[in-house]
Structure 1
Amino acid sequence: MSWHVPEEDLRAYARGELAAPALWSADAHLAACAWCREALGEVSDPVALDAGWERLDAELDAPRTGVLESLLVRLGVPGHIARLLAAAPVLRRSWLGAVVAVLLLSVVAGHVVRGGESPTLFLALAPLLPLAGVALSYGPALDPTYEMAVVAPMHGFRLLMIRTVAVLGVVLGLNGLATLALPAYGLGALAWLLPALALTATGLALTPRLGPVLAPSLVGGAWVGLLLLADALRAGAQTPLAPFTVAGQGVSAVVAALAAGLLFLLRDRFDLFQGRAV
Structure 2
Amino acid sequence: MTGWHAPDDLVARYSDGSLPETDAWSLEKHLESCGTCAARVSRAAREGAAGVVLAEVRDAVLTAVLESAPAPTPVPAASRRPRAVGGRLGRILWAAGPALRGAWAGAVVLVAVGALVLAYGGGFDGARPLLLAVAPVVPVAGVALSYGRHADPLHEIVATSPSGGLRLVLTRTAAVLAVSVPLLTVAGLLLPAADPRLPQAPTAAAWLLPGLALTLATLALSGYVGCRTASGVVGCGWLLALAAPLLTASSPDLTARLTHQLSLYFTGASPQWGWAAASALCALLLAARRSSYDRLETM
Calculate the TM-score normalised by the size of structure 1.
0.65
Of structures 1 and 2, the larger Rg is shown by 1
Deviations 1:28-62 (A, max 9, x none): xxxxxxxxxxxxxxxx951347889xxxxxxxxxx
The structural deviation recorded for 1:150 is: 2.2
Query: Secondary structure of 1:184's partner?
Result: coil
1:85 is aligned, of 78, 92, 95, to: 95
1:180 is aligned, of 179, 189, 211, to: 189
State the structure with bigger RCO (CA 8 A, min sep 6), 1 or 2.
2
| Residue type at the aligned position of 2:94 | L
1:167 is aligned, of 169, 176, 192, to: 176
How much identity, in percent, do the aligned residues show?
37
The structural deviation recorded for 1:232 is: 4.3
Q: Distance in 2 between matches of 1:166 and 1:223?
A: 22
The structural deviation recorded for 1:235 is: 3.8
Q: Report whether the alignment pairs 1:265 with 2:288.
A: yes
Query: Secondary structure of 2:151's partner?
Result: coil
Change (3 A) 1:230 1:257: farther
Q: Distance in 1 between matches of 2:193 and 2:169?
A: 37
Q: Distance in 1 between matches of 2:105 and 2:83?
A: 17
Query: Secondary structure of 1:270's partner?
Result: helix
The structural deviation recorded for 1:121 is: 0.6
Alignment RMSD: 3.3
> 1:113 corresponds to which residue?
124
1:192 is aligned, of 207, 216, 226, to: 207
> 2:20 corresponds to which residue?
none
> 1:240 corresponds to which residue?
260
Q: Report whether the alignment pairs 1:47 with 2:65.
A: yes
Q: Report whether the alignment pairs 1:96 with 2:119.
A: no
1:228 is aligned, of 243, 253, 270, to: 243
> 1:3 corresponds to which residue?
none
Deviations 1:96-138 (A, max 9, x none): 22221122223334553336xx821100111111111111112
Q: Distance in 1 between matches of 2:115 and 2:129?
A: 9
The structural deviation recorded for 1:180 is: 2.7
The structural deviation recorded for 1:140 is: 2.6
Q: Distance in 1 between matches of 2:101 and 2:162?
A: 24
For these two proteins, the number of residue pairs brought into alignment is 212
> 1:202 corresponds to which residue?
217
| Residue type at the aligned position of 2:266 | F
Change (3 A) 1:269 1:104: same
Task: Please say which of residues 164-173 and 246-255 is displaced more in the overlay.
Answer: 246-255
Alignment of 1:66-77 (within 5 A): 73=85
Q: Distance in 2 between matches of 1:49 and 1:104?
A: 64
> 1:38 corresponds to which residue?
none
The structural deviation recorded for 1:94 is: 3.2
Unaligned runs of 5+ residues in structure 2 are 1-61, 71-81, 195-200
The structural deviation recorded for 1:194 is: 1.3
